[in-house]
Amino acid sequence: MSPERPIEPTAATSAYEPPRKGTTAPADGGEVDGGGEGAPKSKRSIQIRLPLPRTFQGRLSLAFVTVFAVAVGIVSALTVFVLDRDLRQQDQATLEARAKAVAAVMRVQAEDIAARDPSDQTIVSAGGALNDNVRVVFETTLTEYANEVALADLRVRFGFGSETSRGTVFIGANEPSTFTAQLTSKPGRGQTRDTISYTEVFNFVDDTGVKPPWELEVSLSAPYTTRESTIAVVVGFLTLSAILALVFAVVVSSLLARRFTAPLRRLTEAARALAEGDLDRRVPADRARTGAAEITELSRQFNAMAAQVQETMDVIVRDRDRSREFLADVSHELRTPLAALRTFNELLREKAGEDPVARAEFLESSAQQLERLDWLAQNLLELSKLDSGLVRLDLRPDDLRATVLSAVEQAEAAARRRGVSLTTELPDGTLIVRHDPPRIGQVVSNIVGNALKFTPRGGSVTVKLAPHRQGGARIQVTDTGVGIDAAELPHIFDRFYRGSRASEARSSGSGLGLAIVRSIVEMHGGRIAVESRVGSGSTFTVTLPADPRTPAERTAAAVAEVAAKAAEGAAKARNKDAVKGSGAAKPAATGASATRAAGMASPAGAPAPTAGAPKPSERGE
């Protein structure tokens, strides 16, 4: 092992300093700051962001152009590759043909020269010696072969074949037997030196069999070809074509991208206008059909959404306006009885309170005003419950005739005071409909009350109950009152709405009665309609289904009923066993236990099997 030589200081080594405290020496020789106090600092990653267009149209155009450019580049590269391969194969075949031509010409000339010498007519002797006359001729004429026949750098070598285990092997003759010549002729137009080469060994045998066979190795290299110039021309043409095609692609992609994004721009403008409060703004239907199917569907859905938003806003505005009107009416309604009560109170404090007749009259008037306040508060509370969903129906399969008749009987006193005839037409047989009796009674009472309010003295109000042809029942309330204007019919069931006709009668209402009626009827799965003409009266028709419950609710109720019956049967069986075991000493206790067991086994919402058990009129109140 040779001794180590000292390292001479160089500019690189002399400038090197060991790492200071608080620094680390990285593998690449650079210094990474450690924070001065040994605290490592995290390396900040550098992210390179390509300057992409910000608009969707620009990005779509860029994507089109990029795809087109990549496609053109791939096609051009493949074209050049295939063309170069084909031209190289053609030049290789041409070079092979030239080699054969050189071998054929040189054989003829060599045999002719050898035949002229009577002393030695062999070209290559059996000992491997080349004919001197042949050698002399080819030393001087080989350049002509290179320029005229081979058209490439030429190298020939005379020799003979030797049979071996691997086949015939070419063995060169004794030197000098190898001759070379450079191509010195000027290239033609578009020709350049190529890098291809070709070598072949030709075996020649004497037809007479007298002369020994000989072989000629011909090697051609660096010929003149037009391959490179052809490739250059093709590449230039492809480049120019690609540039023109790319410019065309940019123009076409911009137009297409603009056409594709035009529906999106219209949607954006419509959405912006909608956000700014222009609820009438829509995407034109004729322009929406010009885009793709997805854009067309998106435009239609946007228009549907805008229409829904506009309808919702219209409802909100109408409700707000009616709420304001209603609040104003409620304020007026509250102010009137409060002012009357305040006046009665002041009068009763003075001398009028000493008069029994006046005091009784004032107290009676005060009681009426208090009833009016209570009525108004009840209507407000009822509407609030219906709107918030706190009211749950207690649906019972009861006879609807009793419910209608009870509501009509409650209104008979008011009908007599107003001088209006109130009659009912009920079916002879029972009409079983699953309903909430108090709520349906409230519906009939409100409608009959309105009919009495707007029917003048001497008129009539008829309440008719009949089964519906599709199942269920139909309740009709017909009056001979002032009627309702056709323009007001679509709004009479709206909350806070009060008509303009018969202002004296309508001023006593709050505009909530029919809204409550419609809510209750819809909760029963029914419908309410009205037919009216001014001066000819009105007819309100309420249609109720036989069972307003959904199929799922019916299934749940049936399961609960079966469970209740099973629990009742099990309780009776246990009761019988208890009676048999203990005799007849404690029948009452056993019966009470069975009743309690049945009550405990009843599912929530199912009626208790105990006879006479109270049923709640309303759930959730």
Give pLDDT tens digits for 163-199: 888 888 888 888 888 999 999 988 888 888 989 999 9
H or E, element range at 301: helix 293-349
Identical topology for domains 282-391 and 393-544: no
Of the CATH numbers 3.65.10.10, 3.30.565.10, 3.30.930.10, 3.40.640.10, which one belongs to the domain with range 393-544? Answer: 3.30.565.10
Number of neighbouring beta carbons within 10 Å of residue 351: 9
Give yes or no for residue 502 having a pLDDT over 70: no
Give yes or no for residue 404 having a pLDDT over 90: yes
Task: State whether the Cα torsion 104-110-114-120 is positive or negative.
Answer: negative
As given in the structure block, the two tokens for residue 207 are 């037809």
> What's 608's DSSP letter?
P
Rounded distance between C-alpha atoms, residue 395 and residue 393, angstroms: 6
Q: Which parts of 226-292 fold into alpha helices (H)?
A: 227-275, 285-288
User: Residue 372 burial (CB < 10 Å; 0-12/13-18/19+)?
Assistant: middle
CB 350 within 8 A of CB 358: no
Of 210-219, 320-329, 386-395, 610-619, give the range with the top mean pLDDT: 210-219
The pLDDT assigned to 462 comes to 95
Give yes or no for residue 594 having a pLDDT over 50: no
State if pTM tops 0.85.
no
Annotated domain spans of the chain: 60-231, 282-391, 393-544
CA distances, 140 to each of 113, 134, 179, 246, 408 (Å): 14, 10, 10, 59, 143
Q: What is the mean pLDDT of the chain?
A: 78
The pLDDT assigned to 580 comes to 67
The pLDDT assigned to 510 comes to 58
- Percent pLDDT > 70 in the chain is 76
Q: Which of 46-60, 196-210, 299-313 has the lowest mean pLDDT?
A: 46-60
Cis, peptide link before residue 263, omega less than 30° from 0: no
Q: How far is CA 618 from the centre of its chain?
A: 45
H or E, element range at 32: strand 32-33
Of the CATH numbers 3.40.50.10860, 1.10.287.130, 3.30.70.360, 1.10.1040.50, which one belongs to the domain with range 282-391? Answer: 1.10.287.130
Between residues 617 and 433, the one the model is more confident about: 433
Q: Which of 199-213, 331-345, 514-528 has the lowest mean pLDDT?
A: 331-345
Q: Which of 179-183, 263-267, 282-286 has the lowest mean pLDDT?
A: 282-286
pLDDT digits (tens, 9 = 90+) for 75-103: 999 999 999 999 999 999 999 999 999 99
The confidence band for 496, taking pLDDT boundaries of 50, 70 and 90, is: low
Rounded distance between C-alpha atoms, residue 458 and residue 481, angstroms: 10
Number of neighbouring beta carbons within 10 Å of residue 448: 25
H or E, element range at 515: helix 513-523
CB 183 within 8 A of CB 151: yes
Q: Which of 45-59, 215-229, 563-577 has the lowest mean pLDDT?
A: 45-59
> What's 537's DSSP letter?
E
The pLDDT assigned to 500 comes to 62
Rounded distance between C-alpha atoms, residue 196 and residue 190, angstroms: 17
Give yes or no for residue 1 having a pLDDT over 60: no
Q: Which residues of 110-143 are buried (b: 16+ CB within 10 A; e: fewer)?
A: bbebbeeeeeeebbbbeebebbeebbebbeeebb
